[in-house]
Amino acid sequence: MNRYKQLLAFIVPYRMRLILGIFCMIAAAMGYLVVPWLIRNVVDGVLQDKDLGLLTLIVIAILVIFLLRGFATYGQNYMMAYVGQRVVIDIRETLFKHLQKLDQAYFDRRKTGVIMSNVTSDVGALQQAIVDNLISFMTEGVTLVGSLVFMFYLDWKLSLLTLIIVPVVLGLTNIFGKKLRSAGHEVQGRTADITAFLQEVISGVRVIRSFARETYEFKRFEQENQNNFDAAMKATKLTAVMGPMVEFAAAIAVVIILWYGGYSVVQGYITAGSLIAFLIYAINLSNPVKRLTQVYGNLQKAMAAGDRVIDILETEPHVKESPTAKALTDVQGTVEFDNVQFAYDEDNLALKGVNLTVKQGQTVAIVGPSGAGKSTIANLLPRFYDVTGGAIRIDGVDVRDVTFTSLRENIGLVPQDTMLFNATVRENILYGRLDATEQEIIEAAKAANAYEFIEKLPNGFDTIVGERGNSLSGGQRQRIAIARAILKNPSILILDEATSALDTESEKIVQEALERLMKNRTALVIAHRLSTIKHADHIVVLQQGCVVEEGTHDELLALNGLYSHLYSVQFARKG
C-alpha cells in the first residue's frame, strides 16, 4: 500500500478532474441501485393494486435514470481516461529525468533493453494499476456499499446471513493476491528479458550474420518467448482459479437468500417485491465482490511493474552534485590529477595513485597496454565516475565542487565509438551548441574536414544519418563528432582512442581535423596507435593503474622501457 500511495501521488495535480470523474462514477453506480427499488414498487404496488398510472411513472423514471446514467458514464470514462494518460506521461517523464541523473555505473550494470522495458511496458502497466483498476475499484465499491445499505433497510437479518460469506471471500482474495503479485513480478521480468534480448540481437546483427548464427539466435529467442509464456500462464492459472472460487462463495450467499427469503415471504415477514429487490441487490453485491477480487488480482500483477519503476526512482546516484557546488567559470584549462585512485569494485583498483598535470594549452598523451587505466582517466575528468581517492582539479578547483553542467560544458569528448543520433547531419553537429548559427555549423564542418563529404550526401546537411550514424562510414561519423566538438568550443578536450578504429586513409583525414581541434586547447589524448601522438607535448605511460614512464616521444624511446617496447611492436607489425 505504501508503494501504491507513492504512485497515487502522481494523480494529485489532476485531483479536480479526478473528483469530477468520481462524482460521475457515483452517479452512474447509483443508477443501478435505484432500479431494483422501482421494481419492488412494480411488484408490490402495480401488480397487486393494478395501478397502471404508477407503472407509467416507474417506466418513465427508469428511462430517465438510464439516460442520466449514460451522461454520467461518459463523464466518468472521459475524465478518468484523461487522468490516466496524464499520469502515465508524468511517470514516464519523471522516470526518464531520474535516469538522466543516475551515474554511468548504473547503466554499466544493467542491460539497455531492461531499462527500455522499465520506461515503456512497466509504465504502461501502471496505467492499469493506478487508473483502470481505480475506476473499477471505486465503481464496484459504490455498488457494493449502496447494495448493502438497501439490503439492510429491506431486511437486516437476511443481510447479516448474507455477510457470513464475506470473510471467506476476503481470505481467498488475500491468499491469491500475494501469489499474483509474485507472478506479476515474473511476467514483467520475462517481458524485460525479451526486450533486452531483442536490443542485443538487433544491435549485433552483423556479428550474428558473419558467424551464420541466425538459427542459434532464433532458438534463444524461442526459449525467451517460452519463458514469458510460462510466466504469463502461471499468472493466468491463479486468476482463473480465484474467479470460480469466489463465484461459488457468492452462490452460497444466494442460496441462503432464496431459502430464508422465501421462508420470510411465506410467513408474511416481508413482501414478495421486497424479496425480489433484495435478490437483485444481492446479485449487485455478488458481482462487485467478484469483480473486486479480479481488480485486486490485476492490481497485484500491475504493482509488480510499479515495484520496478519505484526501485529506479528510489535509486540514488553514487556521483552527486554537491549542494554547495558553484559554476566553473573563466576556465584556463590546467588539469591536475593528484594521487588519484579509483576502483570499479572494492577488490580491484583501476588507478593506483596517479599524479598528472596538464598545463593550459598543452597536449598530453596517455598510453599503455589494454587494462592499464587509460579510459578510466577519460571517465573521471567529466565525473562520469568519482575518484575513490585523491582529487582531480581544473585550474586548482576540485571537480567535485562545481556543477555538472558547467564542468561538462567546458570539456569536449571525442570517443572511439562515435555516437550519432538518428537525425540529420545538421542536428548532430548542432548538438555541440544548440544556439549556433548556420554559418557556425558550416565552419565547424569545414574545420573537421567534413564539409566536402556532407555536401555530396543526398540531402546535404539535411541527410538523416540513421541509427548511431550507420549510414555513414567510420571516418565520416568521426568527423561529424569532431565538428560537434569544434562547435562546442570546449576549453579542455579528451580524445579517447578517436582514430583507433579507422583505416589509414580515414585516420589521416581525421587526425588532421583533430590537430585543428586541439590547437590552443588543453588536450588529453588516450592513444592506441602511438604514431599519432609522437608530437604530443608530454606522454604518460600507464601500466596496471600506475604511471611507469613519462616524457616526450624521443625521451621515452631513449629509456628503452615499456613505451619503447609498445612502439617497436606496433612499428614491426606495421612493417
C-alpha cell, 38: 422501482
User: Would you report the helix, strand and coil content of the chain in percent, each value rounded to 5?
Assistant: 70, 10, 20
State how far the Cα of 85 lies from the Cα of 81, in Å rounded to an integer.
Answer: 6
3-state secondary structure 531-546: HHHCCCCEEEEEECCE
Residue pair 260/156 in contact (Cβ under 8 Å)? The answer is no
User: CA torsion angle for 477, 478, 483, 489 (degrees, to 10)?
Assistant: 140
For the domain made up of 2-313, the CATH class stated in words is mainly alpha
The sheet with strand 538-543 has its strands ordered as: 411-415, 492-496, 522-526, 363-367, 538-543, 546-551
Q: pLDDT tens for the chain, 575 residues: list them.
A: 666 677 778 888 888 888 898 888 888 877 777 777 777 766 666 666 666 777 778 778 778 888 888 888 888 888 888 888 888 888 888 888 888 888 888 888 877 777 887 787 788 777 766 666 767 777 777 777 777 787 787 777 777 767 766 676 667 666 766 676 677 777 767 777 787 777 777 767 666 766 677 788 888 888 888 888 888 888 778 777 776 776 677 677 677 777 777 777 777 777 777 777 777 777 666 667 666 666 766 676 677 777 788 888 888 888 888 889 999 888 888 999 999 999 887 777 889 999 999 999 898 989 888 888 888 888 899 998 999 999 999 999 999 999 998 998 898 888 877 788 888 999 989 988 889 899 999 988 888 888 888 998 899 999 988 877 788 888 888 888 888 888 888 889 888 876 665 666 666 777 777 777 788 888 888 877 777 788 888 999 999 889 999 898 888 888 888 888 888 887 655 54
C-alpha cell, 34: 435505484
Residue 414 pairs in a beta bridge with 495
Q: Give the pLDDT confidence score for residue 45 in this predicted structure.
A: 65
- Give the fold, CATH level 3, of 331-410+525-575: Rossmann fold (3.40.50)
Q: Give the pLDDT confidence score for residue 19 in this predicted structure.
A: 86
Among 453, 381, 455, 372, residue whose Cα is nearest residue 411: 381
State how far the Cα of 53 lies from the Cα of 227, in Å rounded to an integer.
Answer: 65
State how far the Cα of 263 lies from the Cα of 276, in Å rounded to an integer.
Answer: 13
Phi, psi of 132 (to 5 degrees): -55, -50
DSSP strand pairing (348-358 vs 335-345): antiparallel
Q: Where are the alpha helices (DSSP H) in 155-271?
A: 156-163, 166-203, 205-210, 214-267
Among 37, 110, 25, 115, residue whose Cα is nearest residue 76: 25
C-alpha cell, 491: 576549453
User: Global pTM?
Assistant: 0.70
Name the residue ranges covered by the structural domains of the chain: 2-313, 331-410+525-575
| CB atoms closer than 10 angstroms to residue 44 | 16
Q: Give the pLDDT confidence score for residue 335 in this predicted structure.
A: 92
